[in-house]
Amino acid sequence: MGNAPQTANEDFILRASKLTKTFRGFTAVNEVDINVRRGHIHAVIGPNGAGKTTCFNLLTKFLQPTGGTIHFDGIDITRRAPADIARLGLVRSFQISAVFPQLTALKNVRVALQRRTRGDSFDFWRAERCLSALEDEAMSLLEAFGLSAFSGVPAAELAYGRKRALELATTIAVNPRMLLLDEPMAGLGREDIERVAEIIRRIARGRTVLMVEHNLSVVSRLSDHITVLARGEVLAHGDYATVSNDERVIEAYLGSAAHV
């Protein structure tokens, strides 16, 4: 379907329209439309310098757009602050999680669960007794993320892939409606990639995921819908078969290290 227009009555949880970002006269993102369907895993891909990271930072409100609008579940969030949209349920990985290296995996998840029930602020003076009430829930989250054997291990001592899994577990603990992941596979070896891909698949049950990802093999297996950016503009969108057969996409990737 390439660049076919998307109709207004489809159930999009996130809608970015004509999103634009200019840095001192250089337009890094130019009138980009991204519509993310509720319950989908949506990937944003593109060759180096395409504007993916800038787009991600615009959607998570870490950057203010020069132009365009962003709606989350019908609410105009174009001018909202990151913490504000996190409260609405649109959460960037590692925005909330902040894994504490000296705390065990279990304590990290427990603190994150406490945060869900108490909102944004930590209250370290809360009785240890109260935190213990969340122990069972924390253990089952660790189990879901393949970390139960590491519950007593300080986060700092976990292998890289497991640390990534813990970060995702603490993000999910706050129960976001939509999760935005910035290159979740970056720096991971083959085995960890499989593990994290499975975690993302599980996370996506019952919520929406948008990810910027370089690993096209992962994108092809995980994504329901893909937006391809090149030179700050949307080149194509659709499922993997559609975009990977698009002449303009193939051309944009030629000469870059990755091929679709």
Ligand X SMILES: Nc1ncnc2c1ncn2[C@@H]1O[C@H](COP(=O)(O)OP(=O)(O)OP(=O)(O)O)[C@@H](O)[C@H]1O
By CB under 6 A, name the binding residues for ligand X: 23, 26, 28, 46, 48-54
Return all residues near 66 (Cβ < 8 A) that are at least 6 apart. Answer: 20, 21, 22
Nearer to ligand X, 25 or 74 (CB): 25
Nearer to ligand X, 58 or 158 (CB): 58
CB of 195 to ligand X, least distance (A): 24
CB of 26 to ligand X, least distance (A): 6
- For the sheet containing 67-72, what is the strand order? 26-37, 12-23, 67-72, 75-76
Nearer to ligand X, 23 or 160 (CB): 23
**Length of the chain as a residue count:** 260
Nearer to ligand X, 174 or 184 (CB): 184
Nearer to ligand X, 105 or 232 (CB): 232
Q: Are 243 and 236 in contact (CB under 8 A)?
A: yes
Q: Which tokens in the block code for residue 112? A: 């994150």
Within 89-189, where are the H helices?
A: 105-118, 128-132, 135-144, 160-173
Q: What are phi and psi of 37, to 5 degrees?
A: -75, 140
CB of 214 to ligand X, least distance (A): 7
CB of 63 to ligand X, least distance (A): 8
CB of 6 to ligand X, least distance (A): 23
